[in-house]
Structure formats: C-alpha cells, structure tokens
Structure 1
C-alpha cells in the first residue's frame, strides 16, 4: 500500500511538472513507464523480517559460542593470567597487570556469583579445572555471552544505519561465522569484553547521530551518555580501547564542523548555540567516560586491600596501604658501617663486583679504564656485599642512621675496594659513565670526590631515615650527578654475561631505582630486626591512581621481547599466521587461534575495493563526471565511510607500537571490516536504478528543483530497490564463509582430533599447526 501511494504521488507531481514542458506528453509517457516499472519492484522489507533475521542470528551466535564450552577442562593459554586475577580479587590480594580493571572485575563478579573463593590460581597451562574444583564454565560463559551479543550488535548497527536485510545478515554473518571471534570468546580472556564495548560504542553513536535534528532532547542525551559509557568500558578493559575514542571523536569533529557552517541546510547556529553543542559532547564523550574510568579503579583499590604479588611494582608508600605487607613488618633502619646487598627494582639484579677487569678496548674500539668490573648479578652471592662508609674518613657517625640526601661511600667487602664512577664511557653506552672500584688509598686520596654518592630516597622527605626493602632510592654520583643504572642486555663473555652498571645522566626515570634487600652484617636476633606491629597507612585515591597508571604504562611499553606466536600488523588482514592456544598430545587435539580465512580475505578485499571506489569517484568529479546519485554518494561517504574510519583507527595505530603484537589485536578492526563489507555489497548490487532514472527524466522535464528523491522517505526509497543482487551476493559469500568456518572448526573448538593428513590440509598459508608429522 505504501508503495502504491508513493507511486501515485510521484505520478501526480510528474504530470504537474510536465505541463510546463513543450514536450509534456512525451515526458508523461516516459514517466508512466517508469512508475509502472517501479510498481513491479519488490515491496520494502518489513520490520518483522528484520526482527526474525535478528532473532535467528542471535540464536546461532549463542550456539556457536556456547557449543562444547566445557572443553578442554584445563587451563588454556592466557587463562593463566585472567583467571588468576579473578582469584586475586576474590581473595582481596593485591596484584599488578598492564590492563585496566573493568574486564577482570567482571570475571571476579562471575566468580562471586557462583560462590568461588579464589583458592585456585591458574598457575600453569594444562592444570585441571575438574581436579581443582573450579567453576570454569561459569567464567567462560561471560565472554561467550558477550561474544554472542556482539553478533547481535553488529546486526543492529547495520539495521539502525538503514541498510537492507541482506546487508545486515552479511555483516553479522561474517562475525557469526568467524573462527577467531568464536575462539577468543570461549575462553577466560578480555577480548570479548573489548570487542563488545567497541561495537556498542558504534551502535550508540549511530543512534545518537540519528537524533541530530532533535538536539538536547531526552533521547539525544540518553544515547550521547550511553556512547560515552560504552567508550569508557572499552578503554577500561584494555588501553587499545582508546582507538574507539579516536573513531567517535573523528566523527564528532566532522559533525561539529558541519554545525559551524553558516550555510548549513537546517539553518545557521549562533556561536552560543554551537558552544552548547560542543560542551554537551565534551561532557558526554570525555568527562563522563573519564569518571567511569576512574570509578573502576576505585573499585579495584577498594577490593584489593591485602598484600600480594603486585606489591613490588608499587612504591613503598603505596605498599604501606596494604595489610599483611612484608614492608611494614620487615623494614629495618640502615646505619653507617652496615653491610648490605643492593637490588635493582626493575631487573632484580644485585649490585655486584669481582676482581676481573674491564678489557683495554671494547668491540667498537673505545678504550676503558681497565678498572675492576662492577656488574649486575641475578643471584645472591658474597660478591654482592657492600659496606656503607661515611663521607668522612673518621668513625664519628658509627651509630647514626643514614638519612635522605646523605653522602656515603660503598666498600666492596670481598675485594676491599671502594665504588667509583668517573668520566669514562661505559661498555655499551658512550654517553653514560663507567662504574668501577678503586683501592682505599685512592678513595681517600686523589680520587676521594669520585667515590662520594648521595642516597636520594624516592618521594622521600628531609631527614627521612633510609630503610631496607621499603626505602627505594636512587644512588646519585655526587660530582657528576649521574644515577646508578642497569639494563637487561648482557655484557660479553669477559664479564660472564652479567648486566652492565653505568651512570645515567637522566636521573628522573624509574629504571634508576634500587632497594636494599637485607643487612647481612646484622644477626638474626639483633634488636633492630624485632618486628613491631605497624598501622596500615592510607593514600589519596588520585595519588594511588597516578602511581598505578605510571607503572602500567611503563611495563606495557616493556613488552618488547620476542614471542614465537607474535605477528606484525601487515599480516593480520591476510591472516598469514595464528596462535597456538592449547594442545593435547594423547588425543592429537589442539586449539589454534585463527580467523576464518575466506571471511577475512573477502573483507580485506572489500576494504581495498571501497578505497578504489572512493578514489575513482573523486577522480571522476575532478573531471566533471558525476556517476553517482546524491543518496548513493552520501551513504558511501558518510555511513560506509564511518565504518571504514572505524577499521582504519583500530588498525593503523598498531604500526607505531613497539610492544608485542598478536592476531587478536585485529579483532575490533575485523568487526569494522565486516560492516564495510555488508554496506559495500549493498552499494554494488542494489543500486536504486528506478529512482535515478525518475530523477533524470524529471530533470529533463524541467523539474530540477523537484526531483522525486527529495520527496522519498527512507522506507519508500527501499521500496524501489531491487534486492535480488544483494541476496545472491550475500548467499554466495556466506556459503563460502560457512564452508571455511566448518573446515577450521576442529582447530577452534579443540575437537575432534585430526590425523596428520587432516592437519596438513589446514596449513593453507603455512600455519604452524601441531601434529603435522
């Protein structure tokens, strides 16, 4: 009925317009033909059709994610980390992780709901869940639930964006039948939460943008705030969630730029009105998400009140806020003439020396002092013992505690020499000073100044006493003001591959921090070792938050070591390799994290096609050729362009990262590529040829300013479309994708086991699968 009414309206307007044309009869006949053709087009897809498709896809998503979720019944891959963190939450034991707390808090909440007490710490891959009575299915059900709902959200994104039924099914189907999304959402991992939050942020922003003609209404505010909340959940799960902020932020900047245009179709805004729009978006998309982000850390600190394995990553002041902390009970005030062992906070290496000398020349030709070697050694040894001497040569300070900013000398006990730094280049760093030792005679003679070091306690106060364990400090060479520093690159064989110790001119970095592990000269029954009950201290929330942020960012950037399954971003769109999650030798079963190659290659090809279409259209416009109608170009640039922007902002930033990267980092970008695929298939196979022709004939009839497309609603425009091409393309693509999904299922679900021949058949691009021999 709606279609018929629309055609009648179009007919009446066309006839009215045709009377103004000398050749009106001819134009009227042509338009009659077009209207008749339009009547023969399929009717618009009803809302019920979308609801039925949405329901079916959601059910299939739950089936694919939950099927056989109890297998394997042992710890798999990174479940050793995120399952462990849930246990620590339930035990209120402080831990450290480079990821924000939101996703891990969700796992802890699930554990609390099912009555798990956290007794199992997920120590090793392969540990049995059954033997240790762990409700692992409940834990895995959380990411499976979010993974299934992600498929539903993808469908809703396409539906809300006004795409046809086959386009919605295709985009959701590419995620539904993707082995990587399935595999990552069946285990105790964070990526399901991350991808779901990212998809929700896109959906909420689209619903917010659709209300742009109703600014500051209740619905407008609701979807703005929900967009901010989804973004906050994204970045509160992993820091790569920042990419979603870039996606939405870029779209908002473009939207604000359009609002600033004095010639905008809806009427010009005053600067005061524009300021309200800007402030509302800043409030909903920056300020509120930041408050939500802080909230999860407040919950994190409120739960983790007991000392635990994460203590060492924090400052002594932070550690003193935790009950049962070893620092509170074991810290001992350090006196002059104590013999101590000094440990580097980050690398855990001891300050060490031995009689061997630096070589005359290093490999690059530089000359050393040939002094006694001072190195970092990972094991406790008598060569790690240093006696603290006062700056003067007398014993007047024998029983005095050492305080912040005091000057000291360090005597190496075994070789009876004094620590020294001087203006000679270190073995690996020409800009850093060499550390060595000299005899007592030289230390109190000509080289006296070069043996003086300042004890600078981290965040210390004036006259604060220096203590073992809790007294983190930097040892500053007094004349040159360089800080004693070490790193993990081993020295050559002449130093027994121990760590280099040198003087760092940059004093601020936390890598210069050391601590005194123990006073070896103090007997076990000495009164100074007596443990005195101490009150747990408190710190302001923001101070704890800033300290944790610094530590998280630093350690995240240190994840640069090689990994056998790490991969580079260029390989992800082409699915060149995966990651081995789990193997069972007896049954020849394995879980190999890998996307659906057919789906990934199609989506990657469509991304290239989209870029080609945009470039071709821009070239054509520059040459005065307009091949697209207004509606098609608007959707191609705005809606599909938004999806392409989401893919680009979730993919290209990885090229500038120096940390370890894995295939799962591409999952948010892959979801965006599925959206682009659904949108572009509709663009290619379901062009509104009738409407374009009607507009063209109306223009010929002298109706340029009344082209029918200005009178068509979104629903009516779909009525004139032929979806046959889209249905065929969608059917072909999803059939191929389903075949790829089924073929790689044994690697995704971990069963059944495969023979050698079956494994070899799945090594499409040389995937490093197990049991191929």
Structure 2
C-alpha cells in the first residue's frame, strides 16, 4: 500500500487537446528502467514505503490521543447524548422505541454497553444528569465514536496513499481531519456522526482499492474490495439516511467506469456486450443488492431485540403494537358499544376532541363569515368537555350492541347536550376545509340529520371488525361530504382560547387524519367489560413491519422543519459562520461549543474554489489551443482529484433542497472530502518537475522520446525526479496554521478549562454565539 501502487479512483482519460492515441501503460516499468539505465540519471525518491508506514503509525497514534484525551469530561449528559444514550439503554432493556435514523449506529452503542455489562437502567432523560451518580459506563459508550473517529484519520491518510499521492499530500489531508475541532468534538460524545463519517471514508477507500484492480476483473481481490465497498455503503446509510449521498458518489464513479468500458478506443478494445453485462451485474450485485440485504439485516436485528412495549409504540399501527409484549393494547383494549361515553384523541398531536358553549365569531380576521355555531376544538388536557356519547343512526338500538368498522354514528357532546356536525362552511384557518360545530338534538334528528352522520373507518380494518379503545386507529369521515375530521397545531386566536382548530379535511388519505378512542369514562374501573383475559403476543412478517417502520421514519423525518436556535443553512457551513452549543457549566464557566477549526475549514474551502478555477482555466486554455499541462497531470487533476471533489459536492449540495432542520455536523462528510482535495492540490501546485524534464532530456539524447518518460511513468515512479520541497513547505505551513487554530479553540472542544470573559470574546470570530461572553 505504498506510493508505488498504481494510480486510483477514476480511469485515466486523455482530456488534452491532442488527438493522438496513447499506448497502453502496462509496460511502463520496463521502459522507464531502460531509460534510467541508458541515461545514468537516477531519480531521487519522494518517500519510501517505510516512510509512509512510519507516518501512518504516527498520525494514527495522534488521532487516538486527540480523540481520547480527557474523554471522561464532562461526567454528565451532553447535548444529543440524551437521545442516543437512551436508545442504547432501550436496546439493552429490549424496550421498543422510535427514531428517525436507521438502527446500525445505535446497535453499536448497545453492543458496547453489553460488552461492559451495562443493564440499561439509566435513560439519559436530561442534559446535565450525572453519569457518576447514576453509575453509567459512559466512557465505554464514548470510546466507540472516539475509536471510529481516530480510525477515520487513518482512512483519510490511506485514501491518499492508495491513490498514489506524495507523502506531503497524505499528511496534509489526514492532518486537517486530525486537527479539526468539529471532527474531534463529534467523536468524543455518544453521537452517530463518527460512525457515519467513518463508513463514508471507508467506502471511498474500498472503492479506490477495487478500481485499482480493474485490470484483474472478477479475481478474488476484485470481488473482495467490491463487496467491502458495498458493505461500507450499507453501514453508511444504515446509520443515517444522508448516507445515501455516498451511494451517489460511488454510483457516479461506477457509471463513468462502465461508460468507459463501452469505449471501442479504450486500451485493449471495447468489451463485448456479454462481458459488459457481467461487469454491470457484478457492480449491481456488490453495490446495490448486497448493501440492501445488509440494510435489511440491521432492521431484523432491531426487531429481534426490541420485543417489549415501550415509548415507540404510539408511532406504530395497532397490528404492529400487538407484536410487543406488555403492550397496553393487549391489556386495556375494550370493545366500544353504542351509548358508551368515549374520549377521542388525535394520534399525531395527542389532543382531545373538545367542545364548549362559546361560539365562533361572526367574522374572522380575513373577513370571512362563520356559522356562529358552537366551537369544536382540540384540547390537550383531559376534561369533561372531552366526553362524547356514541349514538346509532336510529335511536332504537339495544344496549350492548358493538360499534363496528364502517358503521354510521353520531356523537353527542354530554356537557352541552348537542350533536357533532360538519357542513359546507369554511373553517377558521382553512377556507378549503369544512367547519366543525354542534347543533341541538332537535335539529340533529330533524332538518340537519344528514350533516350529523359520520363513518367510523378503521385503518386497515376488515368488514364488521369491532371498534375498540386504543387499538382501533380510525378516521372519522363526515358521511355526506366525505371529509375527514382533522386538526393541526396552529392555535386559534383568543376567541378560541388558543386551542387547536378542528376541521374537515378533503384529503382523506394522510395519516394526520387518524384518531383513537382513549377510554370509556362511563365504564367503572371494576366493570366486567374491563376484565381481560391474558392475550398472546401476535406476530407479523418481517417485511410488513419493515415497510411500516420505513413509512413512519420518513414521515417524521420530513416533519423536522421547526426552527432551532442552533440550526444553520448549508451556505454557512464551508465558511464556518456559526456552531452549536452542546454543554455549559455555570460554576466553572466551562462549555462545549461544536465548531470546526476555522483556519483548516477556510483553507479547505479556498482550495475547493482554487480547484474549480484551475479546471475552468484549463478548459479555457484548451479551447484557445494552449495545452499547459502534461497528460499525466491533467488525468490526475480531472480523475483522482475530481473524484474527491465529486464526493464533496454530492455530500454538500443536496442539503440545499432539504426542508428539514440542518446543523453544522451535516457538513462533516463534505469537509472530509474537501481535505482530500486540499492534499491533492498541494501536490499539484507545489511539486516541481525539473528533474523529470532532465530525465526526459537525457532520454531524448539516448534515442528515447521524451514522451516515453511522461506517458509511461506509473504512480510508483511518478515523483521520480520531481522536487518535493515546495510540497513539504506548503504542508508544514498549512498544518502549523491548523495546529494553531485547533489549540486556540481547544477549550471549546474539550470543555475545559473554563474561560474568562476576555478569553471568550477573543474566540467570537464570526457568529459564534458563545456562552459566558459577559
């Protein structure tokens, strides 16, 4: 795995203006050796394999030191440890929970807890709760992301090494991640991003190693690295759904590779269609099918562990909940009879169907006229105004008759003795939705009878299925107009006591229309109907459970649109305009503020702009007939460095079209890719080639063409005769500046020591809303 390995990432293509065909580079070593022997010029080495290995060991050791240094501080819950520590505890207690992220990263935390004998008794309820007092092995939990974060630095170094870059380039790329405060801060806490970034980096490394074996297709090593690339991609998306961006990165490279395999002008000729089909099928299997199987596997583990009822029950359907032991549906579900008094609860907002004597105003703020009927609202607390009696269509039904799916019913509000009604009058907030109100019993069974009829439509219910409390999630459909009873969280004005609006939604399909009956207050606690026989836990097919969980995860992920004081926008990330407050301690003036190394981020962002400028300048020059770059340099600039730039872009630009909450940590994968571009550009800009020209000159004198030295020089000999002094100076300057930035912001990353007002103010460079600034 030395610099002598062949160049990696994307297949070299001649993008120069010359139309001459290049010979196959397979015999390059032999021709270069002959050239050196004939000229007597021996190129100086740019770094032996031993030197690469020594630096690798050193930089890995430094990565572990920076990640583990003071990892036990603070000894209390920090920021999102309240979520991911809690989930690990739920796994260990086999208690079902719900989260918008896939299970892989959380399963790793649970595995770490299991290894150290933790029983999951602590639920990480509040930021600032003491780990020591609650006897939580938090250092073991934090060690997992710290290990992965340290290994990420190693993987970045290996990506550059495997791609055939010089030692200074490898050190710059890995050093910018090593000394980055954001990567360090995110990998010292019980958070998922260390797993995500590590898996993303591994996917790049493994694909590079796979691609370097392109001349040995279907060999054992070729299959090994293809499958490992797929596994890394699976771990990435199985940690967070933004791991999909890594699939886009690798997928784009694969598409380019497959397109080149169809080129009849490629060295060795184009593949036949049967051969091409084999290549296509192998990549589809290794990079799509296998990752999907691994992805499903983690969910199977998830379901196998979480067998007990827990806080995640409410996010799932009754059928799903009945697969969990100790579930409240199994224990408390009661069949509803006509004339029962019930309380109806909106599944999504947890508000009760409520009414009170107050009327809708004559006119709303926008001038529309209401019916001035009795208000029907959503109320978050249990109250007698939430009591409704369920009545049959014809009021001669016998007692003890069960309400069933698709029955038409009426609801009588007990306190005001009125009947629920919806009609073709616009609701307060939605002119396209119908108003809900109540009318007198006389009107309900007279002229307004049709408008008081509602259908009980149980979700996924069968014909004649009994309507039950808790377990029967249903939509309440107004029979004449076919609108669904719906509510939302925007509060009504003062005339509505800031309660929720209830209206008729014409879109019946959305899950936001779902309600449930929480209880039957008219049944005494010792009533015979409340006596329950022990029920057996039901089972559901894995794929049915998986599809249901996927729908719920995606829906709730898309609902994360509310504002957050530390949220930031994508255009702010490359410039590091603001961070996130993770933890504070007033007594000691200590704080953890999630922030990258400003100097390192600004260098990497500047280099991205420089790279784009170089590409544009080269293309402009080629259009004007000026070929300023040799074929080998241009090939690496477009293909290898271009691959790193592609990884940055595919992990960055998709965030601009997302509507959910976004934070600085979403940029970490892109930042890692930007450090790879930085290392590559340092080599491209600062490496001299005078000695190479000398070798070529001597080659010409001895009857060899100078082009041979350029066109047939492999990655092993790429730096032969090149001056590395400029690259070393650039690397030293960049890493010195990065070290200064890391050290200056160190107290905000590690949470100690506490800073004085003056020290805090000196670190408020941009929009860093630090604590204790006064």
Query: What is the CA distance between 1:219 and its match in structure 2?
Result: 0.5
What CA distance in whole angstroms lies between the structure 1 residues aligned with 2:116 and 2:336?
Answer: 49
Q: Is the 8 A contact 1:386 1:412 kept in 2?
A: yes
Residues 66 and 8 (structure 1), Cα distance of their counterparts in 2 relative to 1, 3 Å cut: closer
Residue-by-residue CA offset, 1:248-277 (whole Å, 9 max, x unaligned): 111111111111222222311111111111
Is 1:92 aligned to residue 117 of structure 2?
no
- Asked if the contact 2:29/2:714 (under 8 Å) is kept, the reply is no
Q: Spell out, residue by residue over 1:719-751, the C-alpha distance to the aligned partner (whole angstroms, 9 max, x if none).
A: 122111100000000000000000111111111
Shift of 1:72: 0.7
In structure 1, what is the equivalent of residue 708 of structure 2? 707
**8 Å CA contact 2:36, 2:695 repeated in 1:** no
Counterparts in 2 of 1:708 and 1:366: CA distance versus 1, 3 Å: same
For residue 122 of structure 1, give the secondary structure of its aligned residue in structure 2.
coil
Tell me the CA shift for residue 363 of structure 1.
Answer: 1.9
Q: Offset at 1:623? A: 1.5
Match for residue 472 of structure 2? 471
Residues 136-155 of structure 1: matches in 2 within 5 Å?
136-155=138-157
Contact conserved, 1:167 with 1:682, CA < 8 A, in 2? yes
Match of residue 9 from structure 1? 34
Corresponding residue for residue 525 of structure 1: 526
SS in structure 1 at match of 2:576: coil
1:286 aligns with 2:288: yes
- Supply the distance in 1 between the matched residues of 2:276 and 2:30 (Cα, whole angstroms): 40
CA distance in 2 between partners of 1:721 and 1:676 (Å): 21
Show CA shifts across 1:603-642 (max 9, x none): 0000111111111111111121111111111101111111
Distance 1:381 1:720 in 2: 85
How much does 1:532 deviate? 1.6
Q: Does 1:319 align with 2:325?
A: no
2:103, 2:302 within 8 Å by CA — same for their partners in 1?
yes
Query: 2:62 pairs with 57, 60, 69, which one?
Result: 60
* Preserved CA contact (<8 Å) 2:46 2:724: no
Task: Name the residue aligned to 1:299.
Answer: 301
Distance in 1, matches of 2:688 and 2:390, equals 83
Q: Give the drift of 1:297.
A: 0.4
Deviation at residue 182 of structure 1 after TM alignment: 0.4
Q: 1:613 to 1:706 in 2, by over 3 A?
A: closer
Confirm or deny: 8 A CA contact 1:640 1:679 kept in the other structure: yes
| Distance of 1:665 and 1:687 partners within structure 2 | 37
Distance 1:360 1:699, change over 3 A: farther
What is the CA–CA distance in structure 1 between the aligned matches of 2:695 and 2:440, rounded to whole Å? 99
Ranges in structure 1 where 5+ consecutive residues have no aligned partner: 14-34
* 1:700–1:134 Cα change, 3 Å: same
Equivalent-residue separation in structure 2 for 1:696 and 1:601 (angstroms): 41
Q: 1:562 maps to what in 2?
A: 563
1:708 Cα offset (Å): 2.4
For residue 705 of structure 1, report the CA deviation from its aligned partner. Answer: 9.7
Structure-2 separation of matches of 1:310 and 1:407: 32
Q: Distance in 1 between matches of 2:265 and 2:706?
A: 18
- Which 10-residue stretch deviates more, 420-429 or 305-314? 420-429
2:410 and 2:547 mapped to 1: Cα distance?
A: 34
Decide whether the 8 Å contact of 1:340 with 1:387 is kept in 2: yes
Shift of 1:7: 6.9
Q: Give the structure 2 partner of residue 194 of structure 1.
A: 196
How far off its partner does 1:695 sit?
6.1
Q: Where in structure 2 are the equivalents of 1:413-562 lying within 5 Å?
A: 413-562=414-563
Q: Structure 1 residues 622 and 698 mapped into 2: Cα distance closer, same or farther (>3 Å)? A: farther
Sort the Cα spacing of 1:308 and 1:697 in 2 relative to 1 into closer, same or farther, 3 A: same
TM-superposition CA deviations, 1:203-262 (whole Å, max 9, x none): 000000111111111111000000000000000001111111111111111111111222
* Pairing 1:35-54 to 2, within 5 Å after superposition: 39=42, 42-54=44-56
SS of aligned partner of 1:651: helix
- Residue equivalent to 1:119: 121
**8 Å CA contact 2:29, 2:712 repeated in 1:** no
Conserved 8 A contact 2:60-2:150? yes
Aligned length: 748
Contact 1:94 1:305 in 2 (8 A): yes
What's 1:18 paired with?
Answer: none
CA contact (8 A) 2:457 2:476 kept: yes
SS in 1 for 2:748: helix
What SS does the corresponding residue of 1:523 show, helix, strand or coil?
Answer: coil
Structure-2 residue corresponding to 1:267:
269
Give the whole-Å Cα distance in 1 for the aligned partners of 2:536 and 2:697: 83
Q: Is the 8 A contact 1:336 1:399 kept in 2?
A: yes
Contact 1:629 1:692 in 2 (8 A): no
Q: Distance in 2 between matches of 1:454 and 1:634?
A: 68
Matches within 5 A, 1:325-344: 325-344=327-346
Other structure's SS at 2:567 match? coil
- Secondary structure at the aligned position of 1:84 is classed as helix
Q: What is the alpha-carbon distance in structure 2 between the residues aligned to residue 233 and residue 689 of structure 1?
A: 46
Q: Distance in 1 between matches of 2:282 and 2:32?
A: 42
Distance 2:29 2:456 in 1: 88
Distance (Å, rounded) in 1 between the aligned partners of 2:619 and 2:447: 76
How far residue 480 of structure 1 moved from its aligned partner, in angstroms, is 1.4
Aligned residues of 1:699 and 1:707 also touching (Cα < 8 A): no
**8 Å contact from structure 2 (residues 691, 723) kept in 1:** no
SS of 1:285's equivalent in the other structure is helix
Partner SS, residue 75 of structure 2: coil
Within-5 A mapping of 1:587-666:
587-666=588-667
C-alpha distance in structure 2 between counterparts of 1:697 and 1:640, whole Å: 31
Deviates further, 495-504 or 217-226: 495-504
- Classify 1:410/1:240 alpha carbon distance in 2 versus 1 (closer, same or farther; 3 Å): same
Corresponding position of 1:219: 221
2:364 counterpart of 1:362:
yes
Structure 1 residues 420 and 704, CA gap change in structure 2 (3 angstroms): farther
Distance between the aligned counterparts of 2:581 and 2:392, measured in 1? 57
Structure 1 residues 62 and 382: CA distance shift in structure 2, 3 A? same
Displacement of 1:567: 0.8
- Matches of 1:673 and 1:77 in 2, distance apart? 27
Q: Distance in 2 between matches of 1:622 and 1:504?
A: 60
Deviations 1:90-128 (A, max 9, x none): 111111111111000001001111000111111111111
Counterpart-to-counterpart distance in 2, 1:559 and 1:596 = 28
Deviation track 1:677-720 (CA, whole Å, cap 9, x = no partner) reads: 00011111114344467669989999879532233222122112
Which residue pairs with 1:25 in the alignment? none
Q: Give distance in 2, aligned partners of 1:168 and 1:705.
A: 29
Q: Which residue of 2 aligns with 1:722?
A: 723
Deviations 1:652-691 (A, max 9, x none): 1111111111111111110000001000111111143444
CA contact (8 A) 2:589 2:772 kept: yes
* Residue among 213, 228, 231 paired with 2:230: 228
Aligned to 2:580: 579
Q: Deviations over 1:543-601 (max 9, x none)?
A: 01111111111111111111111111111111111111111111111111100000000
Cα 1:12–1:51 shift into 2, 3 Å: closer
Tell me the TM-score normalized by structure 2.
Answer: 0.94
Distance 1:218 1:11 in 2: 35
Could you tell me which residue of structure 1 aligns to residue 766 of structure 2? 765
Larger displacement relative to structure 2 (490-499 or 326-335): 490-499
Larger deviation, residues 313-322 vs 42-51: 42-51
Structure 1: distance between partners of 2:635 and 2:299: 42
SS state of the match for residue 431, structure 2? coil
Maintained 8 Å contact 2:35/2:699: no
Provide the C-alpha distance between the structure 2 equivalents of 1:700 and 1:379, rounded to a whole number of angstroms. 94
Whole-Å Cα distance in 1 between the matches of residues 263 and 373 of structure 2? 72
For residue 718 of structure 2, give the secondary structure of its aligned residue in structure 1: helix
Partner of 1:16: none
Q: How does 1:661-672 map to 2 (within 5 A)?
A: 661-672=662-673
